[in-house]
Amino acid sequence: MISATALKNSYVGTILKKAARPILPGWVDPGRQIVQGPHLRAMLARVTRDSRGVKTILNAGTGEGLYSDLLFEFADAKRILEIDIKFHGGQQARDARQQFVAASLTALPLPDKSLDLILCSEVLEHIEADELALRELARLSSPRGWLLISVPTPPAVFDPAHVREGYSLEDFSRLLRHHGFELIELRFCMYAFFRLFLRSYRKGVVPHAMVVGLSWLDRTIPLGKPMDLVVLARKMRG
């Protein structure tokens, strides 16, 4: 049995953590949710409007599940496949439809034409064989299946984990069409204030308050060239 003192200490500790959060080290993902999340949500809403039903969904390169909650909103979905090469077991499902698979996007253990929707956010720039990864996503897409994908676009802040800086709109559009996808909608995000945050983040610790503040500024006042491209595409028949 937990003592009253332990409960009180736990409660006080939680309060202190919440109070100190603005000055604690921040992380990139809350910023991404602020500037990129609304675009993904709007495009997924379009998928819902323009589809008769989305039964099987792939989160290609799930990472820490930043956008998994957006996929849970598809009420008709029967399976939500979370795939990441870094999975080692022990992932905790937040939805009964979730299934976790450790795999690379260049060799996905799924049957042809089995997916109605694929979300692939900030993954392709990490993969040397990017065309092979897109070929796999095309293979798995059902006829008229959806692909919602985001990639950095030059000039992007340097990231040592990337194998390329990003893709121009023209090059990425050609790449998607080459693999049988029709572009439905595209948007840009991550402008000067978000770039400032990322540069500061690469140099050292950035407080959570700075992450949130600069991200909201970026979303409200999009200055300069964007460094992120979000594309909603659909697999062409044939």
CATH code at position 78: 3.40.50.150
Residue 169 lies in a domain: yes
pLDDT attached to residue 25: 72
Residue 95 domain-assigned?
Answer: yes
Residue 5 lies in a domain: no
Return the pLDDT at 52. 85
- 112-151 pLDDT per residue, tens: 999 999 999 999 999 999 999 999 999 999 999 999 999 9
Q: Which residues are within 8 A (CB) of 66 and not within 5 positions of it... i.e. 6 or more apart?
A: 29, 32, 33, 121
Residue range 213-234: mean pLDDT, rounded: 97
Determine the structural domain holding residue 84 and report its residue range.
36-189+226-235
Q: Which of 7-11, 36-40, 144-148, 176-180 has the lowest mean pLDDT?
A: 7-11
Decide: 120 and 140 in contact? Cβ < 8 Å.
no
Tokens of 124: 């392709």
Is residue 177 a part of any domain in this protein?
yes
216 inside domain = no
The total number of structural domains in the chain stands at: 1
Which one-letter amino acid corresponds to residue 125? E
> How many alpha carbons fall within 13 Å on the CB side of residue 202?
11
Beta bridge partner(s), residue 80? 57, 98
Residues 173-211 pLDDT 10s = 999 999 999 999 999 999 999 999 999 988 877 889 999
Distance CA 195, CA 225 (A): 10
Yes or no: say if 116 and 145 are a contact pair by the CB < 8 Å rule.
yes
Q: What is the pLDDT at residue 50?
A: 95
Residue 102 lies in a domain: yes
What is the pLDDT at residue 128?
A: 96
Domain presence at residue 196: no
In a domain? residue 29: no
**Is the pLDDT at 87 greater than 60, yes or no?**
yes
